[in-house]
Amino acid sequence: MNNIPAGKEKGSFVKKKFASVTRRYDLLNTVLSLYIDHYWRWVTTRELAAYPDGPILDLCAGTLPLSCEIVRQIPRPVAAVDFCFEMLQYGMERRLRSSAEKRIFPVCGDGQSLPLPDNTFAGITIAFGIRNLTDPPGGLKEMIRVLRPGGKLVILEFSRPRNPVFAPLYRFYLHKFLPSLAGLISGDQEAYSYLAKSIEAFYAPEELASIMEKVGFSQVKYRPLTMGIVTVYTGIK
Ligand SMILES: C[S@@+](CC[C@H](N)C(=O)[O-])C[C@H]1O[C@@H](n2cnc3c(N)ncnc32)[C@H](O)[C@@H]1O
CATH number at residue 151: 3.40.50.150
pTM listed for this prediction: 0.96
* Candidate from 66, 87, 132, 195 with most ligand 1 atoms within 8 A of CB, to mutate: 132
* Candidate from 20, 60, 155 with most ligand 1 atoms within 8 A of CB, to mutate: 60
Give the count of beta carbons closer than 10 Å to the beta carbon of residue 46.
14
Which of ligand 1's atoms lies nearest the C-alpha of 111?
20
Query: 33 burial class (0-12, 13-18, 19+ CB within 10 angstroms)?
Result: middle
The one-letter code for the residue type at 34 is L
Of 163-167, 180-184, 207-211, which gets the smallest average pLDDT?
A: 180-184
Instruction: Quote the pLDDT of residue 217.
Output: 98
Which of ligand 1's atoms lies nearest the C-alpha of 26?
9
Q: Residues 6 or more apart from 201 whose CB is under 8 A from it?
A: 4
Instruction: Quote the pLDDT of residue 2.
Output: 58
Using DSSP bridges, classify how beta strands 147-158 and 56-59 pair: parallel, antiparallel or unpaired.
Answer: unpaired
Give the count of beta carbons closer than 10 Å to the beta carbon of residue 64.
26
Determine the Cα–Cα distance for residues 223 and 24; give it in Å rounded to an integer. Answer: 29
Residue 1 has pLDDT above 70, yes or no: no
Instruction: Output the residue whose Cα is nearest ligand 1's atom 13.
Output: 60
Mean per-residue pLDDT of the chain: 93
Query: 189 burial class (0-12, 13-18, 19+ CB within 10 angstroms)?
Result: middle
Residue 110 falls inside a structural domain: yes
Instruction: Quote the pLDDT of residue 119.
Output: 98
Instruction: Quote the pLDDT of residue 188.
Output: 86
Residue 145 falls inside a structural domain: yes
Residue 50 has pLDDT above 90, yes or no: no
Report pLDDT digits (tens) over 57-86.
999 999 999 999 999 999 899 999 999 999
| 221 CA to centre of ligand 1 in angstroms | 23
Report pLDDT digits (tens) over 108-140.
999 999 999 999 999 999 999 999 999 999 999
Q: Residues 6 or more apart from 46 whose CB is under 8 A from it?
A: 73
Residue 141 falls inside a structural domain: yes
Q: Give mean pLDDT, residues 10-27.
A: 92
8 Å CB contact between 149 and 120? no
Domain count, the chain: 1
Residue 1 falls inside a structural domain: no
Give the C-alpha distances (Å, rounded to integers) separating 35 from 8, 30, 31, 168, 173.
33, 4, 6, 22, 16
| 165 CA to centre of ligand 1 in angstroms | 31
Determine the Cα–Cα distance for residues 174 and 176; give it in Å rounded to an integer. Answer: 6
Residue 198 has pLDDT above 90, yes or no: yes
| 212 CA to centre of ligand 1 in angstroms | 19
Pocket of ligand 1 (CB under 6 A): 11, 14-15, 18, 60-62, 65-66, 82-84, 87, 110-112, 127-129, 132-133
Query: 141 burial class (0-12, 13-18, 19+ CB within 10 angstroms)?
Result: middle
Residue 197 has pLDDT above 90, yes or no: yes
Determine the Cα–Cα distance for residues 108 and 81; give it in Å rounded to an integer. Answer: 6
Range of the domain at 72: 7-236
| 131 CA to centre of ligand 1 in angstroms | 9
Residue 2 falls inside a structural domain: no
Which of ligand 1's atoms lies nearest the C-alpha of 112?
19
Instruction: Quote the pLDDT of residue 187.
Output: 86
Grade residue 91 by pLDDT with cuts at 50, 70 and 90.
very high
| 17 CA to centre of ligand 1 in angstroms | 11
Which of ligand 1's atoms lies nearest the C-alpha of 61?
6
